[in-house]
Every structure is written in structure tokens, then in C-alpha cells.
Amino acid sequence: MSIKVEPLDAPTGARITGVDIGSELDADTYAAIHSAWLEYQVLVFPDQDMTEEDQIRFTKHWGEMPQRKRYAGRREENRRAHESVMLISNIREDGEPIGSLPDGDMMFHSDGQYDEHPYRYTMLYALEVPKIGGDTLFADLYKAYETLPSSLKNRLQNVEAQHGYYAGRHVTPEILATLGIERVADSWAHPVFTAHEETGRPVLYVSRLLTLGLQGLPEEEGNDILDQLLDHVEREEFVYGHDWSPGDFVIWDNRCLNHARTDFSGGERRLLRRTTVQGVRPEAAIAKAA
């Protein structure tokens, strides 16, 4: 295969052509994908015709597919070949969604941030998409760290953030109901500034959907600083918005990106297939004043 990598006209991301995910890839192609992934963080493979088995094979090349602790009851049973696969869909049968996270927009987050070992990669394949909305937004956490004021880098150098399962301090019961989520107790603390395990680059590792608060600071001060950080990481100049087409396969690096979803009409069908790769516990980066 002759792989072509085209940087997007966006703060992060690249378009990859010349690769058929539905076929067996050779070592050189995997190496080229990995190199592009480290450089551009989110990769878009358009016009892919791939089965669930194809997606699983590609995903397993990058590491272990974790067992999902939670999914939408039994709605996905008999619709997936591997327990790690998540169907993200608003399609309903007998009034019940056939997949998870059916409706509405979704705040910025990094998958598995509430666990000791968050996901390293997430991969999403579009089967059906609405004509308008349901876009996925990607926020570059490298750039968010780089542009953070020196005063905050110094103040937060040894601070950890507590994350919970859909439990960010701005998450309301109404938001959980729209997403079809029942809150559970899973929670973990990670450094506010983490180091990407491969590049070593510092990352501002907080998110609106999952971050509960900052440890070791007075509550009022901690909440005020957290809100500043959340607004900062979501600045428009850090964000790429992906407008989905059927056949798009989009893969991203959870270690240095947050992602979110825009709202869409409940009258239009949306079905995407997600796989993930297990990661390791993030290590702290040493924050240095600019």
C-alpha cells in the first residue's frame, strides 16, 4: 500500500489515504500509521469498508482490548463479536436504544480518565450518521499545556485532579439521563500535568465531563482554578471538529486529546462502532514556567 498523510487545516489531525483497514496491513504500513499518530494525534481514514472483525484485528495490533465494565444493559448483546466493542447509537427497537450514549451532545473528556489505567487509543467507525450535527470535537491537550499561564503551571506543579465516571463537577442529573448513564463510584486521581508515555511531552489532563476537582487546594480556590482550566482546554484554537460521513474510521490518542460530541436531531439515525486499547497509569510531567 502507498500510504498518504495529509495534515488537516486544523489545530490537530491528519487525513490518511492509501490504506484499506479491511485488509491485512504490513509492518511498514503500521509503522507509518504510528508515526503519523504521534505527530498528529487524531487520524481520519475516509471511505473505509470494514467489518467488525476487521476493526478488532486492527485494534489488537496496538495492544489489549479491555473488557468493558459497563454498557447499556443487554442492548448490545448479539450485536457485537467482542465484549470490548461499544455500539454508539440512537437507533431504537421497541423503544430502547440498540447501543450506548444515544442522544444529545457530550462534554469534553478523555476515555477511561476515571480509571487507574485510562485507554491509550480510541477508534470509531461510522456506519450511519445524521445529516446535521453529531460531530466529534478534538481538543489538543499539548497546546493547552503549552499556552497555560506560567502562574498556573507553577501553582499546579504537584497537584492531582480527581476524576469520576461521568461525574465532572458540571455534570447534572439531566445530562446523565439524556446520555442514558447511571453514575457509579469509579474514581481515580491523576496529575493535572501528565507526560505522554511515548513523546514525553506535557499534557493538561483535565476534562469537563469527568474531572471532579483538584486535590490539596482549598475547595473554593480549587473549583475556581479547575473552571479556568476547563475553559482553557476548550478554546477554539485548540479544537478540530470532525463532520462524519459513513465509512469514516477515526482513531485518536487519548493521552493527549479530549473529545466531545455536538447535538443532533433525534429523528435521524446515528450508529458508530467503538473499540479501545488499554493504556497505563499516566505519570506526572514536571511543569516549568515559560
Three-state DSSP string of the chain: CCCEEEECCCCCCEEEECCCCCCCCCHHHHHHHHHHHHHHCEEEECCCCCCHHHHHHHHHHCCCCCCCCCCCCCCCCCCCCCCCCEEEECCEECCEECCECCCCCEEEECCCCCCCCCEEEEEEEEEECCCCECCEEEEEHHHHHHCCCHHHHHHCCCCEEEEECCCCCCCCHHHHHHHCCCCCCCEEEEECEEECCCCCCEEECCCCCCEEEECCCCHHHHHHHHHHHHHHHCCHHHEEEECCCCCCEEEEECCCEEEEECCECCCCCCEEEEEEEECCCCEECCCCCC
Q: Mean of the pLDDT values across residues 2-24?
A: 97
Kindly report, residue by residue over 99-133, the tens digit of the pLDDT. Answer: 889 999 999 999 999 999 999 999 999 999 999 99
- What are the structural domains, with CATH classification, of the chain? 4-284 (3.60.130.10)
Question: What is the model's pLDDT at position 200?
Answer: 97
pTM, full prediction: 0.94
Q: Tell me, what's the pLDDT at 76? A: 59
Percent of the chain with pLDDT over 70: 94
